[in-house]
Amino acid sequence: MCGIFGIINAADAARKTYYGLHALQHRGQESAGIVTTAYDAARKRAIMPAIRNFGLVTDVFRDDAVFQHKLAGDMAIGHNRYSTSGSSTNAANIQPFVVHYRNGNLAIAHNGNLSNATQLRQLFDLNGTLFQTTSDTEVILHLIAQSRQFRQRDQILDAVSQVEGAFSLILMTDDKLIAVRDPHGFRPLMLGRIDEAHNQGKPAWCVASESCAFDLLGATYVREIQPGEMLVMEKEACETGNFESYLLKPTSQTAQCIFEYVYFSRPDSRIFGEMVDKVRRKFGKTLAHEAPAPFDSKGKRTIVIPVPDSSNTSAMGYATELNKIYCHEGERDHFRFEFGLIRNHYVGRTFISPGQNARELKVRLKFNTVEGVLKDRIVVMVDDSIVRGTTCRQLVKMVREAGAREVHFRVTSPPVISPCYYGMDFPTPDELFANQFEDIDGMAAWLGVDSLAYLSEEGLLEAVRETNSIPPNYCTACFTNKYPVPVQVPKETEKEAFEFV
Ligand code: 5GP
Ligand code: MG
C-alpha cells in the first residue's frame, strides 16, 4: 500500500504536499518523499529537487525551512511507502523517483503493484538497461524513456499502456502534472481543487489517494480519476479546469479493491464514489442480520467492542443494528457499543528484550483492556478482518483475563484466503489464518472464543451495492481467489528477487 499526492499551480506546493501526505500517513509508514519543480539559474535548466527518507512524514520533514528553499516551486508530488514489491530497506526504493531523460525531468509516485513487471524487467535487462532500484515502478520510467513517441504525453501513454496490474500514478514533468489510473481501477485516485481564496488568488488542483487529504488543505473534492484515465494537467488550464484526458485500453470490467472499504482507507474519505464510513457501517449492519450475537434479556447488556481503530465504524453499525432488530418499543436495549480495548497510538519500533514473549508483548504494547467495561459481561469483539489471526487470539485472551463471561468474535468481511497481488501486503496462503482450519469451529477453538462468524461474500457485495449509488465492479480476490488480472504467483521471496545490496 502507499499514499500518493500531487499538486499544480499552488502557492507553497511542497508544504501543501506535506499536509497531503500527513493525511495519508495510514497508507504507508516506511518512508516518505516530496519532489518539486524549480529552475536552476546557474545551469539554466529546470530541476527537480527531492527530499526522501525512511520514516513517517513528520520524521522526514523536520525542518520547515526546506519548504521555502530547497523545495520551493508551484508544483510537487509526494509519496508514503508501504512496500509490496521491492525491498523495504533499500533506500533507492524510496519514492517519488526522479530521472532526467531527453525530454527533461520526470518524477513518478506509484500506488499499486504491476503484475507484468518481472517480464518487462527481464526484457530490459537483456537490452542492457541499468536499473537503479528494485521496485516495479522503475519499469514505467524506462518504458517512457525508451518510447519511440515524440511528444512526452504520448510517451507516457505508450508506457502506461504496456504495464498491467494495479497502478494509480502521479507523474510530474517540468511543466505538467499527470494522473493515471489503471483500467481496472484497483487503487483509488481523486481529483481536488483549492479555490483562489486559499491559494493566493489562483486555483490549484490536486490529486490524492483519498479525499481526506483534501479536507486538511481546504480543497474540494471534484471527482475520481476514472479507471483507465490519464489526466494531463497544465498550468494554463488551471483557471478553467479543462484538462486533456486520455483513455487507456479499456477492459471489460473495472475491479476496484473492496479491501479499501473494509480496512485500508480512512472512514472520513470518499473513494470509488462513496464515503468509506457509510460503506463500513453497512458492513456491520449486514453482519448483524447474518450473525447476531447472544444477549440475556433479563441480565446485563451484551457489550459490543471494536478492535480499534480499524473496526470502530463497522462495530458501531453492528451494535446499532442489533438493537434495531431485537429491541422492541418500550424495552431497554440489549446491546451496548463500548470501548473495551484501548489502543496506544505511539507504538513505533519498540525494543523487546530476549526472553519476553515477543508476540504477546507486541500486542500488549498496542492494546490494553478496560476491566470495568468487560468484567462479567457477554462480550462481542468486532474486527474488520483476520489475516494471520495472531493479534486476534492474543486480544481474546486479554479480554477473558479482564473478566468477560463469554467472548464472541465477529468479522465484518469474509475470510481472507488469498494473497493480494495488486498492492496489499498479505502473507502467503499457508500463513493466512482461514486456510489453516477445516471449518469455523476449528478457527473458533484456536482463537479461544465461544462463537466466531464472518460477513458473507454476498453480504459484503450487497452492502457496497446498497450504499454506493453508482455500483462499480470490485476486486474481491483476497476473499474469493478470483483474480481479475492473471497473476504470476511469485517464486520464493519475489519481493527481494532483484536485491543487489
Ligand atoms: P491478525 O489477528 O490477523 O494478526 O490481525 C488482524 C488485524 O490486522 C485486524 O485488526 C485488521 O484491522 C488488521 N489488518 C488487516 N489488514 C492489514 C494489513 O494489510 N496490514 C496491517 N498492518 N494490518 C492489517
Ligand atoms: Mg485492526
Residue 113 lies in a domain: yes
In a domain, 485, yes or no: no
C-alpha of 281 from chain center: 18
CA of 410 from ligand 2 middle (Å) equals 13
**300 domain residue, yes or no:** yes
Return the ligand 1 atom nearest residue 310 CA.
Answer: 12
Query: Quick one: 206 and 323 in the same domain?
Result: no
Among the bound ligands, name the one nearest to the CA of residue 362. 1
Ligand 1, atom nearest to 311 Cα: 12
Domain match, 286 and 249 both: no
Question: What's the N-to-C CA distance of the chain in angstroms?
Answer: 23
Ligand 2 centroid to Cα of residue 48, in Å, is 38
Within a domain: 491:
no
Ligand nearest to the CA of 82: 1
Domain CATH for 33: 3.60.20.10
Are 247 and 301 found together in one domain?
Answer: no
Average pLDDT, the chain: 93
Distance 162 CA to ligand 2 centre (A): 36
Ligand 1 atom closest to Cα of residue 384:
12
149 and 20, same structural domain? Answer: yes
Residue of minimum CA distance from atom 18 in ligand 1: 425
User: Which residues fall within 8 angstroms of residue 55, CB to CB, at 6 or more apart?
Assistant: 31, 32
Residues sharing a CB contact under 8 Å with residue 347, sequence separation 6 or more, in sequence order = 365, 366
* pLDDT value, residue 492: 45
- Residue written as grid cell 457499543: 337
What does the DSSP 8-state code read for residue 258? H
Evaluate whether residue 225 is within a structural domain: yes
Q: Which atom of ligand 1 is nearest to the CA of 424?
A: 19
Nearest CA to ligand 1 atom 9: 385
Q: Is residue 488 part of a domain?
A: no
289 and 232 part of one domain:
no
Please identify, by atom number, the ligand 1 atom nearest to the C-alpha of residue 1: 19
Reported in sequence order, the residue ranges of 139-217 that DSSP labels E, i.e. its strands, are 165-173, 176-181, 190-194, 204-208
Q: By three-state DSSP, how is residue 366 classified?
A: helix
Q: Is the pLDDT confidence value at 260 over 90? A: yes
Which atom of ligand 1 is nearest the CA belonging to 386? Answer: 3
Output the pLDDT for position 484. 92
257, 263, 416: residue to mutate for ligand 1 pocket, most atoms within 8 A of CB: 263
Q: Which residues are catalytic?
A: 2
251 and 342 part of one domain: no
Question: Is the same domain home to 8 and 128?
Answer: yes
The CATH number given to whatever domain includes residue 350 is 3.40.50.2020
The pLDDT, as a whole number, for residue 395 is 98
Give the CA count within 13 Å in the CB-facing half-sphere of 335. Answer: 25
pLDDT confidence bin for 87, thresholds 50/70/90: confident
Which residue owns the Cα nearest ligand 1 atom 11?
385
User: Considering its fold, how many domains does the chain have in total?
Assistant: 2
Model confidence at 499, in pLDDT bands (50, 70, 90)?
Answer: very low
Together in a domain, 235 and 308: no
Does residue 144 share a domain with residue 104? yes
Taking the CA of 30 as reference, the closest ligand is 1
- Report how far ligand 2's centroid is from the alpha carbon of 309 (Å): 6
Phi, psi of 59 (to 5 degrees): -80, -45
Pocket test for ligand 1, best of 387, 398, 410, 443 (most atoms within 8 A of CB): 387
pLDDT of residue 251: 77
Residue whose CA lies nearest to ligand 1 atom number 1: 389
Residue 269 lies in a domain: no
Indicate the SS3 state at residue 457. Answer: helix
| Cβ density class 43-64: b for 16+ within 10 Å, e for less | eeebbbbbbbeeebbeebbeee
Instruction: Quote the ligand 2 centre to 417 CA distance (angstroms).
Output: 17
Candidate from 131-135, 256-260, 399-403 with smallest mean pLDDT: 131-135
Say what the pLDDT of residue 394 is.
96
pLDDT higher than 90, residue 491: no
Claim: this prediction has a pTM higher than 0.85: yes
Same domain, 234 and 293: no
Q: What is the pLDDT of residue 72?
A: 95
- Which tens digits make up the pLDDT trace of 10-28? 999 999 999 999 999 999 9
Segment 312-346, tens digit of pLDDT: 999 999 999 999 999 888 888 999 999 999 999 88
Burial of 248 (0-12, 13-18, 19+ CB in 10 A): middle
- Domain shared by 136 and 193, yes or no: yes
Residue nearest to atom 7 of ligand 1 (CA): 386
Give the CA radius of gyration of the chain: 24
Specify the 3-state DSSP secondary structure of 216.
Answer: helix
Does the pLDDT value for residue 493 go beyond 50? Answer: no
Rounded to the nearest angstrom, the distance between the alpha carbon of 69 and the centre of ligand 1 is 40
Secondary-structure percent of the chain, ordered helix, strand, coil, rounded to 5: 30, 25, 45
Residue nearest to atom 21 of ligand 1 (CA): 425
Are β-strands 165-173 and 176-181 bridged in parallel, bridged antiparallel, or unpaired? antiparallel
Q: Which residues line ligand 1 (CB under 6 A)?
A: 263, 307, 310, 383-392, 424-425, 433
In angstroms, the CA 283 to CA 413 distance is 7
Q: Collect all residues with Cβ–Cβ distance below 8 Å to 296 and sequence separation of at least 6.
A: 302, 378
| Structural domain boundaries, residue 156 | 3-255
Residue 226 lies in a domain: yes
Q: Which of 291, 313, 311, 465 is nearest to 392 (CA)?
A: 311
Q: CB count, 10 Å around CB of 132? A: 12
Which of the residue ranges 64-73, 231-240, 296-305, 480-489 would you say has the lowest mean pLDDT?
A: 480-489
- Residue closest via CA to ligand 1's atom 5 equals 391
Give the distance (Å) from ligand 1 centre to CA of residue 203: 39
Answer yes or no: do 320 and 237 share one domain.
no
